[in-house]
Amino acid sequence: MTIIPSRITQAPRSPVTKEHALSMRPAPKPRGLHAYWLSGSHPMLAAAELHAASGQEVHRDGRLALTETPIRPEILQRLAYTLRGFQVLGRRPLAQLGTIKVKGPVWVEKLGGIASPAADPPAAPKSRTAARLRQPERAMRNAPIREPTTADLLKHVDSTLARDGRILTFIIQGRMCTIGVETFKQPETTGDGFAARHPSLRSGFAPVSSDAKLLRCLVNLTGAKHNQLIVDPFCGTGGILLEAILAGFRAEGSDIDTRMLDKARQNLRNTSVTVTQQDALNRTYDDFIASEFPFGQSTRVTMQPEELYLEFFRRLATSRYRRAALLLPDWARAHLIAKKAGLNVKVNETVYVHKSLSKQILVV
């Protein structure tokens, strides 16, 4: 990433509102959009996680997510796939970028690009906010344009060079450019923590468990708030329970396999989480649920996986649970099983694991 320093010499006489931020015109009342830069590996899943954790409407454009109000830092810090946050100063087509004036010294950087693999094709807006965000893009969809460099973007800044200051970021997704000032950045220690909790480093690696980042995302997809209870009825070696505790939730788990429970207790020995032996099909559910379903030859189940999934979904349909985020093998086509059991599927995403396995995330 190339960063070019720049000092802003002139500021607008008044802040910008959300509506005027889209056209870069000054306005009297300060209220703007807020942007979040998502992981390139799972941008759709990252947007769903952002929406579930914050409870806000999220408009996604490739790796960029936009909200009307800022998301609290304590929520952003526990997310798995949101990397950075910005206060939006403007959002315009690249061909009509114009001149940007911001108070104070800044540096200029560029994220994304016209040919970004994660950029989405234009789609019909689902809300009034989405329609307003898409309007400038529709106007310039067919105009010829080339990939701008950081030096090209600097020409649009009314400035003189400086050696310090904030970062003025140009976020390009397709033909649209969002200009913002960074307000949040995921600490590097967050990624180091996920790596330190890789399933191969936990006690009881078989049956194979998913990586810590994906399990953290699963916990956030429940939509639970701080200190609320998250239940894992197929807790296995305790990976989901560990992520729930680290994210600030209360957690409890159960499993029918005593050898898995022994390994879970080893992994959770420094926490207050308790795990018990219990059949997931013989209990009721009143709280949030996050769980990775058992599958494969190493699991000890007495029925075929599809039968287990159907019986569990039917159990959920008769319980007063709040929300369930579930991880299953994609070959099971669990969204069809969930609908057969009478459940409403809110999120259905597929995550690539390796060449012979992908996993399906369902929120019901």
Domain count, the chain: 2
What's the confidence (pLDDT) of residue 250? 96
What's the confidence (pLDDT) of residue 353? 84
| Cα 288 to Cα 230: distance, rounded to the nearest angstrom | 5
- Does the pLDDT at position 30 exceed 50? no
Q: 115 with 66, same domain?
A: yes
| Cα 24 to Cα 20: distance, rounded to the nearest angstrom | 6
- Does the pLDDT at position 131 exceed 70? no
Q: Please calculate the CA angle 238-240-245 and round it to the nearest 5 degrees.
A: 95
| pLDDT tens string 261-285 | 999 999 999 899 999 999 999 988 9
Considering only residues 226 and 158, tell me which one the structure prediction assigns the higher pLDDT.
Answer: 226
What's the confidence (pLDDT) of residue 142? 52
Q: 60 with 128, same domain?
A: yes
- Residue 109 within a domain: yes
- Residue 280 within a domain: yes
- Does the pLDDT at position 208 exceed 90? no
Contact 49, 83 (CB under 8 A): no
Of the pLDDT bands very low, low, confident and very high (cuts 50, 70, 90), residue 128 is: low
Q: 39 with 144, same domain?
A: yes
Q: 127 with 9, same domain?
A: yes
- Does the pLDDT at position 67 exceed 90? yes
Mean predicted confidence (pLDDT) in 101-128: 63
What's the confidence (pLDDT) of residue 288? 97
- Residue 191 within a domain: no
If DSSP codes are grouped into helix, strand and coil, which group holds residue 196? helix
Between 140-149, 221-230, 345-354, the lowest mean confidence (pLDDT) is in: 140-149
What's the confidence (pLDDT) of residue 6? 34
The mean predicted confidence, pLDDT, of the chain is 80
Considering only residues 311 and 142, tell me which one the structure prediction assigns the higher pLDDT.
Answer: 311
Q: 212 with 157, same domain?
A: no
Q: 147 with 248, same domain?
A: no
CATH of the domain at 239: 3.40.50.150
Contact 48, 217 (CB under 8 A): no
| pLDDT tens string 155-166 | 777 654 444 456
What's the confidence (pLDDT) of residue 126? 57
Mean predicted confidence (pLDDT) in 197-220: 81
Range of the domain at 79: 3-185
Considering only residues 104 and 278, tell me which one the structure prediction assigns the higher pLDDT.
Answer: 278
What's the confidence (pLDDT) of residue 44? 93
Q: 181 with 225, same domain?
A: no
Of the three residues 127, 159, 185, the one that is the final residue of a domain is 185
- Residue 94 within a domain: yes
- Residue 247 within a domain: yes
- Does the pLDDT at position 17 exceed 60? no
Q: What are phi and psi of 76, to 5 degrees?
A: -60, -35
What's the confidence (pLDDT) of residue 132? 55
Q: 170 with 304, same domain?
A: no
- Does the pLDDT at position 209 exceed 80? no
Q: 151 with 34, same domain?
A: yes
- Does the pLDDT at position 187 exceed 70? yes
- Residue 192 within a domain: no
Q: 263 with 150, same domain?
A: no
What's the confidence (pLDDT) of residue 24? 35
- Residue 222 within a domain: yes
Contact partners, residue 45, CB within 8 Å, separation at least 6: 81, 217, 349, 351, 361
Q: 141 with 243, same domain?
A: no
- Does the pLDDT at position 256 exceed 80? yes
CATH of the domain at 54: 3.30.2130
Q: 248 with 350, same domain?
A: yes
How many C-beta atoms surround the C-beta of residue 274 within 10 A? 12
